[in-house]
Every structure is written in structure tokens, then in C-alpha cells.
Structure 1
Amino acid sequence: MTPHLLLGQTLAFTGDPFLQPWEDCASHHAHGGVLIEHGRIAAVGDGAMLRAAHPQARVTDHGGDLILPGFVDAHMHYPQTRIIASWGKRLIDWLNAYTFPEEMRFADPAYAATIAGETLDLALAHGTTTLCSFCTIHEASVDALFDAAATRGMRIVAGRTCMDRDTAPPGLRDTAQSAHDESARLIARWHGRGRATYAITPRFSPTSTEAQLDALGALWAANPTCLMQTHLSEQTDEIEWVRGLYPNARDYLDTYESHGLLGPRAVFGHVIHLEPRESDRLAEVGAAAVHCPTSNTFIGSGLFDLAGLKARGATVALATDTGGGSSFSMLRTMAAAYEVAQLRGQALHPSQLLWLASEGSARALHLQGTIGTLSPGAEADLAVLDLASTPAIAQRHARATDIWEALFPTIMMGDDRAIRATWVAGRPVPRPTRSGAA
């Protein structure tokens, strides 16, 4: 296969800008290049030198556009695509009014396939090349998403959502045994196939009995290379609900830990209102805390303590949490993360935001070095940003004196119009046609 050389600005990281000065771990090439061979990144560096070293390579010249690793969305719900931006009050009201009725429709395999394709195409249009998604209790909903990702060549993490407690509606309720057995079948069918990773998925403690959590803990112990994804401490009234359902638990996290559902491959969404023991325990075991800022503000959940968790050494990722989150865009999600941090007295540097949306989320999914990085050997999932995509952004970009001033307006004001190109496994994704501005 003929190598393909992309020319443009490049921005890569050699470390975590939360743990060391960004100047020491961010590498910017104003005239850079990314060489792609066999679906992977073969080299990153000075564009002219790469062109001279590989004269046989096909060349795509993006000029002043910025070549980045594709964004990694570490927590979302593809069955909620069509209910995004629905008016609601609190989490439980929102689930009952919108989420559960919509998820019942995924018993229809054709409907599930339609939404899976729509979700992935929306993600790609926004420069997101990997999703970690909840499905529904229906096996067909899981098959639909994995199949749609395979068709597009995308890396995907997903799992069948499990709920057997009567707090879930009858049409979305399973049993401890069916949750175990159907999840086991799906693991055998999809985990490790192509670019697919299976995530064992109890929705959250209030919708699972202890018997179900035990069954899923046993399933994870038998399949330790799977991830485990769920929700933790999203809202204060949710935490009170958990206390009533699990009176013997030390805290919310203990409702998972006591059933074998805590470990380094655990991925917890939201993680806002933590007890000190919970924060320390997440860091100690290496579990991931996923920041979902547009969702946390949209549903009024609270302000994620990014600085506190990073200071404890916790693994932190970034996610849209669509449809509780109000945008499919990881750019908008980065902007919301910046705003939430400001409310907590911390000004995040653009390098930190970008790292969270790429390598940070890849690490949370145990895919570091594979995706989310401009590094030789990584899979060639890429997003190319137009740093002057709208008149408002362009006029600010024109005054920029360095890459960070040039990039930050796009982080704060950008959307899918800023995505010049998306590449998946070394192949360009066709851009959607549109009749007007997004």
C-alpha cells in the first residue's frame, strides 16, 4: 500500500500536561506532517523532511489546518441520540420522561441499526473517532452498534445495559441470570473482534439488585480484559436513593466494589459528589473517572472536581454523555470543561483540554498508545481542524501570537464546521453534505 503523507500543523504530547508543564510535553510543528502506512501512523515530524524521505507517498496538504489525533468520547449513550436536548428537571425525571421510553424502541433491530449509524456518523462529523457507549438491555442494540462501527472501520467500546430492579420500567427489566448470560454471549461474539472492546455495563446501582451486581462481577472476573462501565455519584438525590437501597454499603462506590465491580479497567461516568474514601479508592485501583461537563450542567448535577481527582493521581477522561449531554461535539465538551473548572477556581490550559479529549480518554479505556495520540505505531485515527472556521473564530485567530492562542478560540467556539477532515484507520471519512450551518 502506498504511504499517505498529511501536511499541516501538528500537535502531539509526550506526557500528561496535568502532571508536568505543558511546555515540556507538547510538541508543535507549524509545518508538520503525519505519514500513514497500513492504517497506522508511521512517522510524525517536519513536513518537508518527511516529504523528502518518502517521495513515493501520496500527499494531502492541509496548509495551516491543525492535524490532531481523533477525539475519544469516553462515556455516552447512543440510544439517546434522538432525545438529545430534551427539556427536563432532575436525572430521575429525565430518565423516566425521555430515556426509558426511547430505549424501549431498541427492541426493534432495524431501529437500533438506524440510530447506531446516525450516532457514529454524527461522531465522525465532529472529529470523534472512538466512542464508549451504553446500549440497551436488548442484544440487538449491542449488535447494531458494533456492526455499524465495523462497517466504518471505527474503534468502539460498548456493552449491553443491565437493569433488573423494579426501579426500571418492566419493558427494560432483565434478571441477574439473563444479564449475565446475554452479556457473556455478546462478549464471545464481539470482544476483541476487529477494533471492538466489550464493556460489562450495569446502568447504575439503583437499577440493579445485589444479585445482578454479583453476577456481573463474576462475569468480569471471568473476562478480565473487558472494561466495566457504569455511573457514580451524578446527583445528590441519586446518592440518597442509593443509600436507601444499599443501607450496608460504606458509600456509593462500595455498592460496586463489594460485588467485584471495581478495578483498573472500570470506567465511572460523572463522579461528582464523592466522599474522600471514594476519591482515594478510585486513584488507588486505577479506575477512571469520566468528566461529562455539558451533561452535568444541563441536568444540574454539579461541578466535577478535576483538579482534586488529578491531584490524587486518578485517571480522568472527558465525554459528551449524549443524550444527557447537550452536544455531540468534543470541542463543545472541552469548552464546557474549561467553564466548569473556572467555576472551581482553575483555569485549564488548552493543552490540558486537548489531552483530556484524546490521550486522557484513551488511557481511561486502556487504549493508550493505540488511539488518541500522534505517535508512530498508533492507529491512524485523526481529526484535522480548521482554526478559522467561522467569522467569529477567524477574527480572533487572526490576532493569535502562538498555537495556543490560535487553537483556544476553536475549542471555545468551534463545532462540526471546524472539522476539516476525519480519518479512521488511515482512511478519510467522506464529509456529510449540509444545506446550512450546523
Structure 2
Amino acid sequence: MSEILIVFFLLVALIAMLASGVWVAFALTITGVISMLALSSAPIGPILATTVWGHSHSWALAALPMFILMGEILLRSRLSDDMFTGLAPWLGRLPGRLLHVNVFGCAIFAAVSGSSAATAATIGKMSIPELTKRGYPESLILGTLAGSATLGLLIPPSIILIVYGVATEQSIARLFIAGVLPGLMLVSMFAGYVMFIALTKPDFFPAVSEKFSFLEKIKASMSLLPVLALIAGVIGSIYAGIASPTDAAAVGVVLSVVLAWWNKSLSIKMLKDSLMGATITSCMIAFILAGAAFLSVAMGFTGIPRNLAAWIGSFELPPYALLAALTVFFIILGCFLDGISVVVLTTSIIMPMVESVGIDPLWFGIYLVIVVEMSQITPPVGFNLFVIQGLTGINILRIAKAALPFFSLLLVAVVLITMFPEIVTALPDLMNN
């Protein structure tokens, strides 16, 4: 019982620090220090120094700033315009028509950026004015963008999967491969929902205004070739075993610069802004990871995770019951913290419980990312909602209401991968064979 009280006290202290505006990294470090002072006689200073150093020079972590830089360069390029030009002619006859540009455009950009917010900003600045001008309903424009942009967290190269892999010592390459089928499943579900609405409420949609011949469609598709080449270069090299995620990230940065030069959006100012944006984001994430690493080590010295896992194990909860409880917990936590903070805050305590009931850590990583995706479109701290509000000036609650069907679809996806874990594990297992 004393363990539970200590955990409760630490949790209250952490929430109080976060609520008062203390940086996440500092809050995590201070929580670790308090726990070690209360429950361990180990030397705090040397442990803090060695932990921060040990987790800061990880080779796997080097992929993080490079993928972020790649996304920043593409965010400032004309990629979104090229994607609209290439996708629109093919989608005009599909039920839902150009709304699918949001779904498929987000899926494509997610495969080269790794960031949910960058995906929402890049596709949104192109699609919102175009779709609004053509008379598509506001709720579906906002909903498809907010929901589909969450794919940036799952479809590799995913920044949050890199963070999870580093925090839990899982193979980043296997996590990337595990995210492919769930990502394609979500794309299909989002597109299917749009088609269902289009078929049941055809009056919501404007009449077809443009017709393209097959040759015109092929010609328009040429603008997608540089993007597809970038995806093939980055993701293909990982799947083929030619390059590690870190090597592929370096390739991605080079290819993104070439792509920006190709579409005439490359400039010194653009590179400077991209480097500054990537540096700020990378430092923030690295700082949080260092604090989380120390908290994890501190928890190990105190024995709290082990004892907490044993306590939960004494209830003999089946895996499904534990996952149901964790889903509610993560959704609530995601209402107040960004996705990366949710991952690094919880892995040190959650993972022993998860492993104690026999849940595969690789599968759990994909499950966690999908649940965190849900938090990206829940107020008050849904990052995608903030991005879209910044693009449109629309009230954040209206955007959240428009995104609600896609929140439900993400919840359905969690149920599906729980019932059929092979959706996650099939490709990684195939890679091992």
C-alpha cells in the first residue's frame, strides 16, 4: 500500500509541476530525484550524469534530428501543391471526390515527414482554400484533415516510433515495418468513411466540375514522381536492409534538398529556417528523452515499477482488461500532453506491467502510437487542432467536433489490432524469416 501512496504522490507532484509551466524535461528529472531521495541511497549526481550521457549519444537517436530536418525542408517546399496537382485528377470520380486529397495527401506526406503537425500544416495550407473554394462542406474538410494528419505519427518514418524505440530499446527498423499495415488500414478506413458519407448524403458535395482524359491524368501524375522517389529512397532502403534508419534519414535530408531545388523552392533563407526549426524541435525532444531516461533509471533503483507490476499482476487482469484501462488512461493523458511527452512519461512505469501479462512490446508500440494519435485531435491540447486553427482561425471546439468521427475510427483501429495482432506483427515476422 505504501508503494501506491508513493506513486500517487510522485504523480501529483509531476502533474503539479507540468500544470505550473515547468518544462517537461525538468519535471521528469525532479520527479526522479524526489523518488531516489525518498526510496534509495544511490548517489544521484553520478547516476544523473551517466544516464544523460549514455542516452544522449545513442546512434539510433541520430535519426531523429535528420528526419525532423527532412520534414522541415519539405514543409517549406512546394510539395503540397505538387501533390494536389498529381492526386486531384484521379480522385474526381471517386465518391467524396477531392476530399480524398486530404486523406491520401496526408498519407503520402506522412511517409516523408514523420510528424503529425507538419503533415496537418503542409496539406492544410494547400487543401483548405482549394476545397472551400470548390464548395465542399467545412466539417468534412476539417475532419478529414485533422484525422488523416495523425497518420504522420504512424506511417514510417515516424518520429514518435523512434522515441518509443529508444525509450524501450526496441528495434526502430522493426517498429517502422510494424507501422505499415496499420497505417494502410487507417488510410482505408478514413477513405471508406468519406465514401460512405458521399454515397449516403450526395447533396453535401458539389457537382463534378472538371473532367480529365487518361493522358491528362498520367501527365498530372508526373508531379508525384519526386515525392515517390523520396519515399522509395528513405523507406525502401530500410525495408530492403540496405540502410539503417539513421542512414536512411541522412539519405532523406539529401533527397529533400534535391526535391526542394527541383521544384524551385530552395533558398538560403529556406534552409536557414529549416535548420532552425529542426534544431529547436530536436533539442526539445532530446531534452525530454534525457529527463525520461533519468526517471526510468531512478524508478529502477526505487523498485517501484517492479512492485507496481507485481501489484497489478496480483489482480490477475487479462491482457484485454489491462489494455482497456490503459486506453482510457492514455486518452485522458493525451488531452493535456503532446504525444512524445505521453510516451516518455509512461514507458518506464507501464512497460513492466505490459510485459508481465505477456503483451509484445513491439505490438504495444504501435498500439500506443494509435492511441496517441487520438490525443492529437482531442482538446484542449490536440496539436493537430491547434495547427488547423492557426490555418483557418476557426474555433478549436468546432474543429474537434469535425474530427470526432475520425477519433472513433482510430478507436476502432485499436480494437482491430487488439483482436488481430497479426496486422502489426505480420511484416516484422516476415522480415525475420
TM-score interval for Structure 1 and Structure 2 normalised by the shorter chain = under 0.3
Q: TM-score with structure 1 length normalisation? A: 0.27
Q: Pick 1 or 2: higher relative contact order, CA cutoff 8 A, min separation 6.
A: 2
Q: TM-score with structure 2 length normalisation? A: 0.27
Highest CA radius of gyration, 1 or 2? 2
Which has the larger share of strand?
1
